[in-house]
Every structure is written in C-alpha cells, then in structure tokens.
Chains A and B, each alone.
Chain A
C-alpha cells in the first residue's frame, strides 16, 4: 500500500474525501451541522480522526465542502425536475419533490443558516436563485395569460418559501414520524395557487 503508484494513490485519496463528505452530510443531518464534532464523522466513516484533516484543513472547510456539494446536487436536481414551459403548479410540485428528496439536510441548513459562515449561506441563496428563476418564469407567463392575479416576483417567492420553511423548521410539530413535505406538500401547493387565483369581477 505504501508503494502504490501515484494514480491509485490519487484515486484512493479522492474516494476517502468523497466518503468523508457523504458521512459528514449524514451526521450533520442526524445531529446538526454546528453540533457535530469531526471526531464523530471520522468514527462513522471508519477512519482515524487525523485523516479528516489530511483532506480538510479545518472543520469549517469540511462544512463548506459538504454544503457546496449539497447545493450543486439540489440545483441540478431542480433543473432536472422542472420541465421546459412548466406551469406554476408544475414548478411548485417539482420544488416540493426536490426538497423532499433532500429534506433532512436542507432543513438543517435553513435552521442553522445564520450560525454558519457567510460563504455557506451563499449556497442556500444559490438554491433559492435557481428555484426563483423557474417560479418567476412560470408566474410571469400565467399572469400574462390571466390565469393568476399579478403579484411581484419577490413576494410570490417569499410567500411560498415562508410557508415551506415554516413547515420544515417545525417538522417535529407537523410530521413527527416522517417527511413533512410528503405529508403537506400537495396541500401547500394548492393553498398558494388558491391565493393567486384571479379576482372575480
């Protein structure tokens, strides 16, 4: 093992890094991002504690790597789920489905957001920028067609996100045994669309 060639050494290093990022994501989801010591992550990954610091100079660097990787995956999945020319209902439903797939860690990010370094907060903003793009496109189109009442883009987005995040951050009250979005997602989508229905003459 000591005399392994440089290629396999690089591959092994990559694999360990990936393992650490994935294990950290699980541990953070379980115990919280700021509350999980690196020693717990090393133990869960089955590596020596020192190995963590061969890959990440500090705990913050590991947190940043995990959040960055997570942000890229969520954004990609969002774009995958939202079809071209999607209706507002389609976009909202795709958003709920995507967040449901990543619910545990996403909720941690929302709850602990302001305790984390600014750089990691940017990742959450990046996710919101991606979904707000699709939402505004669909809403503009439907407002033009008279299918919804006109509403400023930022208020539509923040009303929706406020609703979703309220249920997520209080998931223990709404769905103590499972996914809050699985249980309430369709109802929240219906409610938002009801609020946006065009006013009758």
Chain B
C-alpha cells in the first residue's frame, strides 16, 4: 500500500490520491485544487489546525508536534524549518 509522502496517510482507493490519480505520490488532502502538492508551510498550517480541531491541543504545541511529524516524512526530510 502506498502512503502519502507529504502526510503519511495510507492511500487505498483511487479517491485517496491527488486528483484521483494512483500514479501520484501524495494524497487528496495534500493537493491544492489544481492538483499540485501543497508547500511545506501550507501543510504545516493545515496539519496544526487539524490537531487543534480534533485533539484540542494548545496552538503552539500543535505546531511543534506537526513540525516533528512532518520531519519524518519523505517529502520534507531536508526541510530546514523542521526541528531535530
């Protein structure tokens, strides 16, 4: 099973892929409306908001956690903004 290089979500059905295209390495949640992959900053912002909305964490803590989670993913390995 392929997992999204930008957020780690497993992609099981065509609808999970960006633009419904199984050849893509990133998922529907990591794509912009035109199908290109979101930038690191866009993903960091949306992931932090996702954590705040679904788990209720403090905003700053959520952003740091999102930073660390993203740092482990192939798309963002060399991102200078990611803490060690």
A interface residues (Cβ-Cβ under 8 A, vs B): 68, 75-76, 79, 84, 119, 122, 125-126, 128-129, 132-133, 135-136, 153-155, 157-158
Instruction: Pull 8 A–B residue pairs with CB atoms less than 8 Å apart, ordered by A.
Output: A79-B10, A119-B68, A126-B69, A129-B51, A129-B55, A136-B54, A154-B52, A154-B56
B75 contacts the other chain (CB 8 A): no
- The residues of A that contact B50 with a CB separation of less than 8 Å are 129, 133
A-facing residues in B43-58 (Cβ within 8 Å) = 50-56
* A135 vs B50: C-alpha distance when bound (angstroms): 13
Add 15 more A-B contacts to A122-B69, A125-B55, A136-B53 (CB < 8 A).
A79-B10, A79-B12, A84-B12, A84-B13, A122-B68, A125-B51, A125-B65, A126-B69, A128-B55, A129-B69, A132-B55, A135-B54, A136-B54, A154-B55, A154-B56
CB atoms of A157 and B55 under 8 A apart: yes
Return the contact of A153 from the options B12, B13, B53, B65 (Cβ within 8 A).
B53
A158/B10 contact (C-beta < 8 A), A119-B68, A122-B69 known: no
